[in-house]
Amino acid sequence: MGLKIIVLAKQVPDTRNVGKDAMKADGTVNRGALPAIFNPEDLNALEQALRLKDKYEGSTVSILTMGPGRAAEIIREGMYRGADGGILLTDRAFAGADTLATSYAIALAIKNMDYDLILAGRQAIDGDTAQVGPQVAEKLRIPQITYAESINSVEKKTVNVLRRLERGVETVESPLPCVVTVNGSAADCRPRNAKLLMKYKHAHTVTELQDSSEDYIDLTADRPYLKIKEVSAADVNADLNWTGLSGSPTKVKSIQNVVFQAKEARVLTADAYEIEELVKELIDNHTIG
Amino acid sequence: MANFYNDNPDLKFHLEHPLMQKIVELKERNFADKDKFDYAPVDFEDAMDSYDKVLEVVGEISGDIVAPNAESVDQEGPSIVNNEVVYAKGTQENLDALVKAGLMGITLPRKYEGLNFPIVPYIMAADMVSRADAGFVNIWGLQDCAETINEFANEEQKEKFLPRVCAGETMAMDLTEPDAGSDLQAVQLKATYNEEEDQWYLNGVKRFITNGDGHISLVLARSEGGNDGRGLSMFIYDRAEKAVTVRRIENKLGIKGSPTCELVFKNAKAELCGSRRMGLIKYVMALMNGARLGIAAQSVGISEAAYREGLTYAKERKQFGKAIIEFPAVYELLANMKAKLDASRTLLYETSRFVDVYKTYMHIMEERKLTPEERKEMKKYQKMADMFTPLAKGLGSEICNQLAYDSLQIHGGSGFMKDYPIERIYRDARITSIYEGTTQLQVVAAIRGVTTGGLLNVIRDYELQELRPELHSFRRTLIGMTEEYEHAVKTVVERKNPEFIDFHARRLVEMAGNIIMGYLLLLDTQRDNKFKNSTEIFLKSAKTENLARAEFIHGSNLEDMDAYKHDRV
């Protein structure tokens, strides 16, 4: 039984090691100062997809990402780890999209694809909204399972998933097709594989190959698997009122700069008294409660 | 979120050495694999880009997985469960990650599912893994035993064993025994041939075997009568035979994650590798040369870790109102550490390149006849590789111990506690100058290059290399050191007394080594000025060290040796 799995992945600025120049004066992210990376929880989702591919012979894993031309790197990164290929959803008309416009475009692209299961990271580290996965499911009118920690099995067109919740875990089932968003507590993604890396480093989109500022070796004529497909707004018949900035009701009103003040570190011993004192103090200063 | 490749641009610098063009073209046989394997490079730039990208993966695994596991691996160590070695949890995680990343069988040909990388990028990977955890690099790095199978085993054996190594099986080389350590001619493990079954059987004990319970082992055993090295042959033992008992795992000072085993072979079926009687005199020599280069890489990796730990601590630690790195006693230590680190690394990669050229010619020779020029070149590089390998291992491991010592010293009392990684690094460093031949044995291997003038010829070649005018003064220093070295060699050799040569051998080898490392640093500076500081600092201390050695040699007489002999002291 081969599964057709789509992994939604996003190229994000690495916000985990933020330096002084991470934000511009106008309050937007200074993308130039932060390296572009594979959104961490999307890597957790990819690992779940690859495990299913290992388990169910004949399965395929395809990466779907929306972004500028350089986001093709995310598809290659996925292929280095075992994905079979991917689609780059790219168009000027998609620029400036919030979660609603993003899920609109992604859902349209998926409608043209054949799939059993859609996996995505719980949320991206740039916006932390956790909305795109669920919105895609709603737009496709298929079930969704969020906070997945592991996909236990897919048998008889039913997926069995362990969810990580605030106060424990639960195991749920859903008919296929469905959307599963994967938690950061799930297994780390496998490393890039040397042979796959050397094979797929030559995979490019047409736009990349036409870019005269880069000197790529074009092997796509003899090796069709090296073509990364680009899909535009027109290709998915998108209504431009629903894409990009015009399709995004989210408006940023203001951005505040929060400065964490480093205070003196304290070392506590693990006895009941000190712990109780700490809990009291944290409740008093509203850190918890 | 550390990447040991990206955070150390010196690696890429050494990867991009001009000789790599030749090495890659030879190794890739003019890119003949490009239409047969989808991961083979199409040209030189493509190949170099592949090494760069794959090393970045190694750097990521080293920084994100292996290094964070090092402390728990050191504490937990391996154990024996149901007669099998079970690695520490972290060790297994490290190995799984490297296997999944396809980083086994890095140098093996593609037809056996290897990556067909030259030795230089492989050694670079070992350099990084060792920086992360010197004990772990032993288990992963034993994949270079597969090179011995690739060189000397028959085709059937290659097809049987090599793809298994590429798929992630680990290896071991079973050489030493309780009474055969440095002196391998004394190996007693018995190999008997059963003619009816057309089968070899091994019986006996091996001791101090790193990763002794690996999947595939190369075993040195006595297949013939007599008691010398010519009665020894090499065998391949497959763990699936289940005929070897792991009697114990040694409790060691350092590299505690690496299982050092005592093995008992009981009627263990094994396959002869290559020809009978060639076990020690040919195969072990090849195996050891590969392993020595591996230890040289391990040493440089440990040196890198020690230097970084020392530097970080010296910047953070404040005493008398300022960071201790501000004090001359500390910044001088650190500058010398950096110079020695750079010196041992450049020697490591020069040696690796020599090995690459000659080994690749050797493999090409199996496919076709070499032209007279190629044959000449192979001989030249083989000679240089043979001279340089004991230098890289001997001097590199001594430098690594020195750096670990100095780094711990910078840490002061905190370094003596288990709280900082330097305590583990210090213990791990200690073995490098002992196993795969002690420093004293590396000197025995290297002294021939001194007495025959081979090393001097290499030095003379370096002397002729083009340099920017502002670097000429360094060369003048090195020419002066070379004259002094020649004079010292002459003084020793002219006595025509072998014991006198042995007595001064280490001094002479170290003098040659200092000159060679000095030249290599200078040539690195010619390519990239960032090495100028290390060149200057290295030459300052190398010059005075050599002077002291020369002084000792010139003031030494044959009869002086008597005073050192134990029964006279």
Average pLDDT, chain A: 91
- Give the sign of the dihedral formed by CA B268, CA B274, CA B276, CA B280: negative
pLDDT in tens, B9-53: 999 999 999 999 999 999 999 999 999 999 999 999 999 999 999
* pLDDT tops 90 at residue B443: yes
Helix (H) or strand (E) holding B56: helix B44-61
Is B567 inside any structural domain?
Answer: no
C-beta of residue A11 within 8 angstroms of C-beta of residue A73: yes
Query: What is the reported pLDDT for A283?
Result: 85
B412 with B540, same domain: the answer is no
Residue B94 lies in a domain: yes
For residue A23, the cross-strand partners are A29
B60/A17 Cβ within 8 A: no
Q: Where are the beta strands (DSSP E) in B211-328?
A: 216-222, 232-238, 244-249, 260-273, 318-319, 322-323
- The predicted pLDDT at position B288 comes to 87
End-to-end CA distance of chain B: 56
Question: Are B67 and B190 in a shared domain?
Answer: no
- In this prediction, residues B167-190 reach a mean pLDDT of 94
Query: pLDDT of A158-169, one tens digit each?
Result: 999 999 999 999
Nearest to A197 among B41, B43, B57 (CB): B57
Q: Which residues of B touch A193 (CB under 8 A)?
A: 100-102
Smallest CA–CA separation between A249 and chain B, in Å?
36
Domain membership of residue B389 (yes or no) is yes
**Is CATH 1.10.760.10 the classification given to domain A4-247?**
no
Lowest mean pLDDT among A121-135, B469-483, B554-568: B554-568
CA atoms within 13 A on the CB side of B100: 20
Distance (Å, rounded) from C-alpha A113 to C-alpha B121?
A: 41
Identify the domain boundary among B413, B433, B453.
B433
Whether B270 has a pLDDT exceeding 90, the answer reads yes
Residue of B43, B50, B101 with shortest CB distance to A193: B101
Average pLDDT rounded to a whole number, residues B499-525: 98
Contact criterion met (CB < 8 Å) for A192 and B101: yes
Residues linked to residue B270 through DSSP beta bridges, in sequence order: B200
Residue spans of the domains in chain A: they are 4-247
Reply yes or no on whether the pLDDT at A152 is more than 90.
Answer: yes
Helices then strands, each counted (H, E), chain A:
7, 12
Residue A289's pLDDT is what? Answer: 66
CATH number, domain at B538? 1.20.120.470
pLDDT of B114: 97
Whether B569 is in a domain gets the answer no
| Residue type at position A267 | V
- Give the whole-number percent of chain B exceeding pLDDT 70: 100
Q: Which among A16, A191, A219 has CB closest to B57?
A: A191
Domain of residue B49, CATH code: 1.20.140.10
Closest CA to B132 of B58, B54, B62, B64: B62
SS3 track for B72-106: HHHHHCCEEECCEEECCHHHHHHHHHHHHCCCCCC
Residue A120 to residue A8: CA distance in whole angstroms: 5
Whole-number Cα distances in Å, B459 to B348, B456, B486, B539: 16, 5, 11, 15
Mutate to test the interface with B, among A195, A201, A214 (most CBs of B within 10 A): A195
Banded model confidence at residue B97, pLDDT cuts 50, 70, 90: very high
Query: Residue B568: its pLDDT value, please?
Result: 58
Q: What is the structure's pLDDT at A282? A: 86
CATH of residue B236's domain is 2.40.110.10
Please, what is the end-to-end C-alpha distance for chain A in angstroms? Answer: 49
- Contact (Cβ atoms closer than 8 angstroms) between residue B524 and residue B531: yes
Query: ω before A177 within 30° of 0 (cis)?
Result: yes
Confidence tier at B286 by pLDDT (50, 70, 90): confident
Element of type H or E holding B224: none
Integer Cα distance of B545 and B338 in angstroms: 17
CB contact under 8 A, A191 and B42: no
Write out residues 178-197 of A within 8 Å (CB-CB) of B.
190-197
Q: Which of A17, A190, A217 sits opposite B100 (nearest CB)?
A: A190
Tell me what the mean pLDDT of segment A163-188 comes to. Answer: 96
B345-373 pLDDT per residue, tens: 999 999 999 999 999 999 999 999 999 99
Domain boundary among B254, B276, B298: B276
Q: With left for phi above 0 and alpha for psi between -120 and 50, is residue B53 left, alpha or beta? A: alpha
Q: Is B387 helix (H, G, I), strand (E, B) or coil?
A: helix
Across the interface, do B102 and A223 touch by the CB < 8 Å criterion?
no
Which chain B residues touch A if contact means CB-CB below 8 Å? 1, 38-43, 46, 49-50, 53-54, 57, 60-61, 97, 100-103, 106, 115
Give the lowest-confidence range in A265-279, B64-78, B113-127.
A265-279
B290 plus B157 within the same structural domain: yes
Q: B161 and B30: one domain?
A: yes
The pLDDT assigned to A256 comes to 74
Judge if pTM exceeds 0.90. Answer: yes
For residue B1, is it within any domain? no
Question: How many domains is chain B partitioned into structurally?
Answer: 3
Mean pLDDT (whole number) for A70-86: 97
Cβ A194–B102 below 8 Å, yes or no?
Answer: yes
pLDDT tier at A1, thresholds 50, 70, 90: low
Per-residue pLDDT tens for A23-76? Answer: 777 666 777 778 899 999 999 999 999 999 999 999 999 999 999 999 999 999
B2 found inside a domain: no
Contact B39 A198 (CB under 8 A): yes
Average pLDDT value for chain B: 96
Residue B569 has pLDDT above 60, yes or no: no
What's the average model confidence in pLDDT over B287-314?
A: 96
> Which residue from B40, B41, B103 is facing A194, i.e. has the nearest CB?
B103
What is the mean pLDDT of the segment spanning B255-271? 97
Question: Which residues on chain B are in Cβ contact (under 8 Å) with A219?
Answer: 42
Q: Check whether A133 has a pLDDT greater than 70.
A: yes
Coil, strand or helix at A134: helix
Region B165-190: mean pLDDT is: 94
Q: What is the DSSP string of A210-236?
A: H-TTS-----TTT-GGGEEEEE-TTTT
pLDDT tens for A87-105 read 999 999 999 899 999 999 9
Quick one: B228 and B372 in the same domain?
no
Residue B499 placed within a domain: yes
Look up the domain containing B254 and give its range: 171-276
Contact call for residues B189 and B222 (beta carbons, < 8 A)? yes
| Residue B242, CA atoms < 13 Å, CB-side half-sphere | 3
Tokens 């309780």 locate to B178
Reply yes or no on whether the pLDDT at A198 is more than 80.
yes
Single out the residue in B433, B457, B488 at which a domain terminates: B433
